[in-house]
A and B are shown apart, each in its own frame.
Chain A
Amino acid sequence: MTGSTFDLAPPLALELSHITKHYARTTALTDASLRVRAGTVHAILGENGAGKTTLMRVAYGLSRADSGEVRVRGERVHFATPADAIAAGIGMVHQHLTLVPAMTVAENIALGGRGLLRTTEMVRRVEELTARTGFALDPRARIEDLSVGAQQRVEIAKALTRNAAILILDEPTAVLAPAETDNLLRWLRAYAEEGRSALLITHKLRDALAVADDITVLRAGRVVFSGAAAASTIPQLTSAMLGATFTYTPPPAAHRSAQSGLPVLGAEDISVVDSTGRTRVRAATLVVRAGERVGIAAIEGAGQRELLRALSGRMPIASGRLTIPAVVGFVPEDRYGDALLPDGSLVENVALRGAGHRRGLMPWAGLRALTSRLLAHHDVRARNGAQVARTLSGGNQQKLVLAREMGATTDQPSPLAIVVENPTRGLDVHATAAVHDRLREASANGAAVLVYSSDLDELLAITTRVVVMFDGVLTEVATDRRLIGEGMLGLNAAATATPAVTP
């Protein structure tokens, strides 16, 4: 007999109440509360830096809250480490996957256990997971040989081995192609319908509305909205995420009638081989003209990394013909590792451009003046040029890198071509808008711009033309979201006609 829901309301799967968390001298969360019902998908929306990940780290025992309490199925819990959270039935899939690339699927899933490692037992466990999740997992495959989507499925399976009844996924769709995203969301739905709960951390409204029962929105460490997804509207959620005062309307994407200027970047039948000897780019041909903004759509590891580096003169080509200007501005995805001297001053970071060709004495006076100019013109929030780069926020670091790569310096003219790779990853909406504006401005001034973004919507919004890359092969496609999505997975005729990967 079931009692009235009034008396016996099912306990919440997970309840975080009044969580406050300070880091060093910044406050990540202020009095944030979250109630996750059993059998539902709960989306947590917010901009980068809004506190979504911190809140989930608290729920998973990776961070300890300064105040507030955590309850799992009604029981008050105190997680000191993830091991405690795992024991309480919580699983987490991190944005940056935490798998050991050199190990097999079976070993990764076995990680954290006790006693002897029995191969047969490990394989059986993976097979059991395959049956339970519907994911095809090869227990003996090495993680590093799997695609990002497959790795993510391993990560989910790993979280489920310990019978997680609450699954937290941090930005799981950020690296997936549209079709893969759809599959994942469908799977999450089915998972929740078995009576368990999924928490989906995302900044994509589209994903949240597609799958969630409930939505909680965080902004600047505070919960600013929570309610049923069915009752939420896009404008409501947008203004909750961005704040009522912020009005950013992306300029119309389409002036696709690309004013064909002169070709600036040209690749003819080029192939690129990476340091491990794998051919990453196969017979690629591409022309980017002055004033054009060309986007490359691809899933992780399709060869876009190498293509961008070849076209910006950062990587040698193995064959083919490359026509590029003497100076190409380049903004790599990993700005912290590949574009900045984190311990250097901003002046030194500006001086880095052209360091390879500079002779004689350093033009420090000119560089200092240039840095001040760049900081002012590009709205980089810094005290002065002597500040150390690592102490800037991610958005300001990216603005600095863009400023350095796009303009003239003491000894180099403005580049005729600019190549950027995931230029807004990890940036908040204001910084993202600034980056987009800079790219438009550059092409308006006659530069050829080549962009790769793992976010297809961003790509469609800022480029004039999109080229799909799959398994090292470039294909021109019509600017259509569905066609591009299929091309990214090699599903359209042109891409599938090309030879498969040979390691």
Chain B
Amino acid sequence: MIASFTSSRGRSAWVVLLAFGILAIAIGAMLFLGGYSPQAAATALWHGSLGSWYSITSATLVRAVPLMLTGCAVAVAFRGGVFNIGAEGQLLVGAAAAAATALSLPSGGAFTICVALVAGALAGGAWAAIAALLRARFGVLEVISTIMLNFVALHGVSYLVRGSLQEPTRIYPQSSTIADALQLPRFPGAGRLHVGLILALILLAACGWIFRFTASGFRLQSVGQSPSAAATAGLVDIRSVTVMAFLSSGALAGLAGAVEVLGVTYALYENISPGYGYTAIAVALLADLDPWRIVASATLFGALEAGGAAMQRDANIPSSFVSMIEALLLLAVVGTQTVRRRSRIDGIAESDGAVTAT
């Protein structure tokens, strides 16, 4: 089906190999510049991410869940031609709304958990709606507005955890802990891994199905590919499709924040997200915006995040090192996209020629 960003699968493998070779060299160079031992780094990375059952479940997969949800959020937006760089802010707002809801609800149980999750999704959608409104009404590019809203959300959470949502002793900049009955249940025997994983997988499957089989999914992607063709040939109402893309993307990112609060941190903190909303862009693009492949790429990035934490702990390599690797990975994906695409067109042009010759 349509993927406006890329569609090729490993055509000119050598270009991709070259890019990732350069990537590896860049990582090595940074380790050398920082004076770190590559071997210690690799060992820590392995142990922290995939080296044991505990690290797979409690570290890698726990981090993969918010990346799956925000990655899905980015995929929905990008497929609809909406450059939502604001998953981070939408996640934070969703986390705050879920925490506020969970802390103010009296009873526990599945229904209340759902209410808190929905509150997070709604808040994320509402946060994205601001950018949607600014674009639809005033023509403000969402690239800028969503980034600005990320900063606003960041400072907003910082205000909340020192203000109305601060824990009663007023010492720490964080909210009270959410009651046990409102926490997302964990899988037995899988450490900190919670049922948010199931939710994320269901939503990714649903998005994949919507993209492939429904009329609204087709509309979304036709607008993303060519708004003018969608409007002129398809008589599609561009504005409402775009607004829907904003809202669903924001809701997915907001849900990621809610799941994080209810399933992992159990309280609202200032630094509740280590940049999941930005990493999500890399997650989604590495997966060619395909929901099923987001499962894999989110797990890869979850492993990197988990390994990064271990590197800091065991090899004293700063965690920012991993965000650098992630950025390099994203650059490698973006940098090879055009090249891969160009080779694809040439390849088909050749067979097209064969067709016209007959």
Contact = CB atoms under 8 A, between A and B. Distances in A.
Touch A–B, Cβ below 8 Å? yes
Interface of A: 24-26, 313-314, 330, 332, 337-345, 348, 351-362, 364, 381-383, 387-388, 390-393, 401, 404-405
Contact of A330 (B2, B232, B348, B351): B232
Contacts of A24: 346, 349
29 contacts: A25-B350, A25-B353, A26-B349, A339-B229, A339-B233, A340-B229, A340-B233, A341-B2, A341-B222, A342-B225, A342-B226, A344-B2, A344-B222, A345-B2, A348-B2, A352-B222, A353-B233, A355-B230, A355-B234, A356-B234, A358-B219, A361-B214, A362-B213, A362-B218, A383-B352, A390-B345, A391-B348, A391-B352, A393-B356
B228 interface: yes
A337 B225 CA distance: 10
B350 to A, nearest CB: 5
Given A24-B349, A381-B356, A391-B352, A337 B228 contact: yes
Contact of B355 (A343, A354, A382): A382
Interface string B235-246: 111000000000
A338 B228 contact: yes
A405 B222 CA distance: 17
Contact of A341 (B214, B225, B346, B350): B225
Contacts of A387: 348, 352
Contacts of B350: 25
Contacts of A393: 352, 356
Given A25-B349, A314-B235, A343 B219 contact: no
A392 B352 contact: yes
A246 to B, nearest CB: 16
B295 to A, nearest CB: 24
Contacts of A357: 235
B158 interface: no
Interface in B308-358: 345-346, 348-353, 355-356
Given A337-B228, A352-B234, A355-B234, A343 B2 contact: yes
A355 B235 contact: yes
A359 B215 contact: yes
Interface string B199-225: 000000000000001110111001001
Nearest to A329: B233
Contacts of B345: 390-391
Contacts of A340: 226, 229, 233
Nearest to B237: A356
B145 interface: no
A362 B234 CA distance: 14
Main SS of the interface on chain B?
A: helix
A385 to B, nearest CB: 13
A387 B347 CA distance: 12
Interface in B26-72: none
B356 A338 contact: no
B356 A361 contact: no
Given A313-B235, A361-B214, A381-B355, A352 B229 contact: yes
B4 interface: yes
Nearest to A312: B232
B226 A360 contact: no
Contacts of B213: 361-362, 364
A355 B349 contact: no
A360 B215 CA distance: 6
Contact of B218 (A25, A332, A351, A381): A351
B2 A391 contact: no
A357 B232 CA distance: 13
A367 B334 CA distance: 33
B273 interface: no
Contact of B232 (A339, A354, A361, A382): A339
Interface residues of B, number: 33
Contacts of A388: 7, 348
Nearest to A411: B215
A405 B353 CA distance: 26
Given A25-B346, A356-B234, A383-B355, A343 B4 contact: yes
B231 to A, nearest CB: 8
A344 B4 CA distance: 8
Nearest to B218: A362
B226 A341 contact: yes
A119 to B, nearest CB: 33
Contact of A338 (B219, B233, B346, B353): B233
A352 B224 CA distance: 13
Interface in B1-33: 1-2, 4, 7
B236 A356 contact: yes
Contacts of B2: 341, 343-345, 348
Contact of B234 (A25, A353, A364, A392): A353
A358 B4 CA distance: 21
Contacts of B225: 341-344
List 3 tightest A-B contacts by C-beta distance, closest first: A355-B234, A358-B215, A356-B235
Contacts of A25: 346, 349-350, 353
B235 A338 contact: no
B222 A355 contact: yes
Contacts of B229: 337-341, 352
A354 B218 CA distance: 11
A343 B235 CA distance: 19
A427 to B, nearest CB: 14
A372 to B, nearest CB: 15
A28 to B, nearest CB: 13
B352 A362 contact: no
A362 B214 contact: yes
Nearest to A391: B348
A342 B219 CA distance: 15
Given A348-B2, A390-B345, A338 B214 contact: no
A360 B214 contact: yes
Given A355-B219, A382-B355, A337 B235 contact: no
Contacts of B230: 341, 352, 355-356
Contacts of B352: 383, 387, 391-393
Residue in A313, A330, A364, A391 whose Cβ sees the most chain B Cβ within 10 Å: A391
Contacts of A355: 215, 218-219, 222, 230, 234-236
B356 A330 contact: no
A378 to B, nearest CB: 15
A330 B233 contact: yes
Nearest to B344: A388
A26 B348 contact: no
A340 to B, nearest CB: 6
A68 to B, nearest CB: 23
Nearest to B348: A391
A345 B349 CA distance: 14
B215 A314 contact: no
A26 B233 contact: no
A351 B217 CA distance: 12
Interface in B133-190: none
Contacts of B348: 387-388, 391
Nearest to B225: A341
Given A355-B230, A355-B234, 14 more contacts: A337-B228, A338-B229, A340-B229, A340-B233, A342-B225, A343-B2, A343-B7, A344-B2, A352-B222, A364-B213, A381-B356, A391-B349, A393-B356, A405-B233
A348 B233 CA distance: 12
A330 B346 CA distance: 31
Contacts of B237: 356
Nearest to A384: B355
A339 B233 CA distance: 5
